[in-house]
Chain A
Amino acid sequence: MEMTFPDVVTLAVPGFVLLVLIEMAIWRATKRGRYETRDSAASLLMGLGSQIAPLLGGGALVFAAYVAAYEITPLRIPNTWWAVVLAFVLDDFRYYWWHRISHERRWFWASHIVHHSSQHYNLTTALRQPWTGGIIGPLLFKTPLILLGFHPAMILFVGGLNLIYQFWIHTEQIGRMGPFEWVFNTPSHHRVHHATNPRYLDANYAGALIIWDRMFGTFVPEQDEEKCRYGIIKNLGTFNPLVISFHEWFGIARDVKNARSPKEALGYMFGPPGWSPDGSRLTSKMIKERWARMRGEANANGPPPSPVLQPAE
């Protein structure tokens, strides 16, 4: 029997809308979590734009490359249920590394920062997706799966399932989930990922399976005594979707323009976010080191105020 791979993300959209409405109702009833209308509007428009952006040509280009890769490779994996399961796991592994590099290299971060640019953490944040980055990232990270012999449609299908899985974990309405958290990514794990508390930076890159973070040393559990504060290191001063989408690209262009050498220009483009030739800006590694240093001093000198332990506003 011929296996077909529907566009699961489009099919899931009514479910997304329903779940957002339910979460809003819970927020209203319990006052747990945060919603801000303009922030939600920006997130939803970013999500809509991210679905339109590939129609400008990038989506077709990427799919053509996938088909070409499938034609070239001598390997073939049949379209069976077990191949879908295998593809899902391998794609999730692919997602982990793509996601990790999206945080560790500014070129990729310039797109991915959009998803982190809200100071809120709710289901609309899940839909705050970039309009850029839809060509190089997929080509670099998904083409190897196709070269292994998976059909491009299957890879798009399992990628869609992964995206759907990640939707529901963007909430403050669900606490801990017991043994489920040992293997799967959960709201608690992903809250840590979206937090800017130094303790939580650069952690929990997982898509559906948290095992990758546990394997590669990037897993950090949520601490009850340290509430997550969401956003980015330098939070945005606007809800304008165009600025949200392109501000980091603008920053890269400005830095490259002012670079004093090609090496500096490359550093600004492909170094870690926050990299600067003189160290005057802070990378997340430097922020964590500063936090550890200040925490050490605080422990040695008694209890001066520790900003990271203060509750979120």
Chain B
Amino acid sequence: MTGNLYLDLLISLGGVAVLVLVSFLLGGWKSATLDEAAARDRLAFDEPDFRPSEWLFGGDGKSAAALSEDGAEAAFVFALGDGLATRRAALGAVPVKVEGDKIVASLHDPSKWALTLAAGSPEEAARWAGRLSGAGYIAPHGNDIP
């Protein structure tokens, strides 16, 4: 790179910084709250043939998980900035582990390697981890086996 190119780069970075700062000052730094309506809406849009039976809405308003009616799949909805995204997988295909009252699901997605779900309590986390891993899941509203 020549000196001029370095200067161009510096000016361009300055321009980016100014625009980002203005966006921030105008209230652009936003985080979506993942309430039930938003999660259902996003999942219905992204995966219209996924029929959710039961939901776990993370206590931090950042993520949610749903089990399908047929007991074969799970879906995850999570917030990114002011937007939402979903991931869908067969039960058991996503490794999950419990960390206190949280569930950590390894999505193996380059843009979202792991998803943390705030389950509310260690017991609830263990119960949902069992369901998401495919073990202990019987049927919607059936026996809850952690």
Contact = CB atoms under 8 A, between A and B. Distances in A.
A301 interface: no
Contacts of A37: 20, 23-24, 28-30
A264 to B, nearest CB: 20
Interface in B40-56: 41-42, 44-46, 48-49
Given A51-B12, A238-B80, A36 B41 contact: no
Given A44-B16, A238-B112, A290-B48, A313 B29 contact: no
Contacts, number: 122
Contact of B110 (A35, A239, A250): A250
Nearest to B44: A307
Nearest to A123: B19
B110 A243 contact: yes
A102 B18 CA distance: 32
Contacts of A45: 16
A310 interface: yes
Interface in A218-237: 229, 231, 233-237
Interface residues of B, number: 42
Nearest to A17: B15
Interface string B63-96: 0000000000000001011111111000000000
Contact of B26 (A24, A231, A233): A24
Most chain A CB within 10 A, of B13, B19, B44, B115, is at B19
A310 B45 contact: yes
Given A55-B5, A313-B38, A38 B19 contact: no
Contact of A237 (B24, B42, B44, B111): B111
A251 B16 contact: no
Contact of A236 (B12, B24, B26, B111): B111
Contacts of B46: 233-235
A98 to B, nearest CB: 25
Given A24-B22, A37-B23, A307-B45, A235 B85 contact: yes
B interface, by DSSP: helix, strand, loop or mixed? mixed
A35 B26 contact: yes
B80 A236 contact: yes
A40 B23 contact: yes
Nearest to B27: A28
Contacts of B84: 235, 313
A34 B22 contact: no
B1 interface: yes
Given A21-B19, A24-B23, A124-B19, A238 B48 contact: no
Contacts of A233: 46
Interface of B: 1, 5, 9, 12-13, 15-16, 18-20, 22-24, 26-30, 32, 38, 41-42, 44-46, 48-49, 78, 80-87, 107, 109-112, 115
17 contacts: A17-B15, A21-B22, A24-B26, A24-B28, A34-B82, A36-B28, A37-B30, A39-B83, A41-B23, A48-B16, A235-B80, A235-B85, A236-B85, A237-B85, A237-B115, A243-B111, A290-B49
